[in-house]
A and B are shown apart, each in its own frame.
Chain A
Amino acid sequence: MADTWRNWSGSVAFRPAVFAEPDCEDALASLLRETHRRGGTVRCVGAGHSASRILRCDDTLVSMKHLSGVIAVDRARCEATVRAGTELETLGEDLYEHDLALPNYGDVATQTIGGAIGTGTHGTGPAQQNLSQMMVGARMVLADGRILEIGRDDDDLLRAARVAMGTLGALSTVTLRLVPAFDVERREYATSTDATLANLDALNADNRSFDFYWYPRRDDIKLRLVNAVGGGTRRLPYARELTRQEGYGHKVIPTHSGIPHRFEECEYALPAAAGPACFREIQQRIIRCWRHVVGWRVLYRTVAADDADLSPAHGRETVTISLHQNHRLPWRAFFADIEPVFLAFEGRPHWGKKHRLRADALAPRYPRWRQFHRVRDRLDPHGTFLTPHLRRLLGITGP
């Protein structure tokens, strides 16, 4: 048995039989081939930032951390091919050397690019899609060790592979559609909940990236705007400026990398139009029922629609609402109490965060659920990448 493996927050802990850290694609392929030959199960792990049980595997756990770095850059096409285990923070710095950048980041940049793609990790902005949409090609190691090249014209494969939670195969390298390196200005403001909601449409429309934190212990809000320097909403008479920072996107957009305080998180993606009403209901419920133990904030963001089969933003402009709870305070009952509110507003859970849904509740929320399964069954017919939890999650009862 290997040592106990723990995710970042510590709430997912298990002891795999085998823990491997391949340093090249060939070693990864050999490992998968051997596991497949003996009928075992394998999961690939990135940075371990996810808090859901999609990582848990009692058989073979593969760390991708040595499969890291930029392989090739095409500046003219604004594309780069990188190894899937590259951390976003490092990737941002490396791409900057080529005058390129990821179009967006989440709040932290400690994830690997493969993990971010596989879980639908996102930042905020009405025109900003989740990070999986950058992937326009990939090399995927299948369970039997064969290499599958996914090209930019393989629509069905790309749609399935972009948010696949590692259930099709192991991404070895990914080709990313990027943007020229850009600098931004981040401004943060304190204001009231009522003022924020009254100005929500304008804030969304006028800023490249806008989100807000709601603080349950004060019922007030921090607005966060990220724009080209000098751009975005300039006049906010209802808010008090807290901070202002300028710099390149990879330095300024992720703000909480390395945060020392561990937390658990539950996030749902909702139709954008339902965002304000859903937030209001959650706000009132937290004040009424959960304020005594919930001190951490609620995060409200936007994500542009996409067409990945299992993307929480599939087919609709999206608002995401995230609940955060200190990892040492009760979170199960809190999240479970709020989840019905998310579901009533047609919510889809973030695959890498806490939620309690299973296939019967998930399938109706994803119009391309069956198409995803057809691709998955074809690429991994023996279920080498499926754990019992993933089988329940995806509703797979066969091999």
Chain B
Amino acid sequence: MNIGRRRWVFAAGCVPLVSTGTEPAFTSRDQFSVLNTGASVANVRIAVLYAGRAEVGPFRLGVAPRRVRQVRVNDLIFPVAVRLGEPYGLIFDSDVAVVVQCTRQDTGRPLGAGAMTNAWPLRCRA
């Protein structure tokens, strides 16, 4: 049985530009996790909306059955690299219900801390 929703949104995106520490472990980043609890592959399409420029995407992502997949927003470069240091939002559309969670790691200051933010599910008509 699939847990979650087919559409999720995340409004508070902004990948921190500055990193400290060894990369890629300590690269400042926004990251999302997609949990697919169902028995079939989840085909997820992601649109990136900016504050001051046209949206980009779709970024295409498959999540295997009964798996979670974690992707850095920094690594979304096809079809076009997501801009870092700019406010953005994400719209996730999946063909099966999934659970999406977004996190941020900001290592810009030596004692910087990571902040976690949930994405919001939207109820879709079938």
Binding site for B on A (CB under 8 A): 192, 217-220, 260-261, 291-296, 326, 328-329
Contacts and interface: CB of A to CB of B under 8 A. Distances in A.
B124 interface: no
A292 B77 contact: no
Contacts, number: 48
A218 B84 CA distance: 12
A217 to B, nearest CB: 4
Given A218-B24, A218-B27, A296 B17 contact: no
8 contacts: A217-B27, A217-B77, A219-B23, A291-B17, A291-B84, A294-B81, A326-B79, A326-B80
B22, B80, B85 interface centre (most CB from chain A within 10 Å) = B80
Contact of B80 (A218, A260, A328): A328
Contacts of B77: 217, 295-296, 326
B42 interface: no
A296 B22 CA distance: 20
- 10 nearest interchain CB pairs? A295-B81, A219-B23, A295-B77, A218-B24, A217-B74, A292-B84, A292-B85, A220-B24, A326-B80, A328-B80
Interface of B: 17, 22-24, 27, 72, 74-86
Nearest to B23: A219
B86 A292 contact: yes
B75 A329 contact: no
Nearest to B84: A292
**A219, A220, A291, A293 — most chain B CB neighbours (10 Å):** A291
Contacts of B75: 217-218, 295
Instruction: Find the residue from A261, A294, A295, A296 having the highest chain B CB count within 10 A.
Output: A295
Nearest to A296: B77
A141 B74 CA distance: 51
Contacts of A292: 17, 83-86
Contacts of B84: 217, 291-293
A9 to B, nearest CB: 13
A329 B24 contact: no
Given A217-B74, A218-B74, A218-B75, A293 B24 contact: no
A329 B80 contact: yes
A261 B59 CA distance: 12
Contact of B78 (A217, A261, A291, A293): A261
A65 B17 CA distance: 46
Contact of A295 (B17, B24, B82, B86): B82
A10 B63 CA distance: 33
Given A217-B75, A292-B17, A326 B81 contact: yes
Nearest to A260: B79
Contacts of A217: 27, 72, 74-75, 77, 81, 84
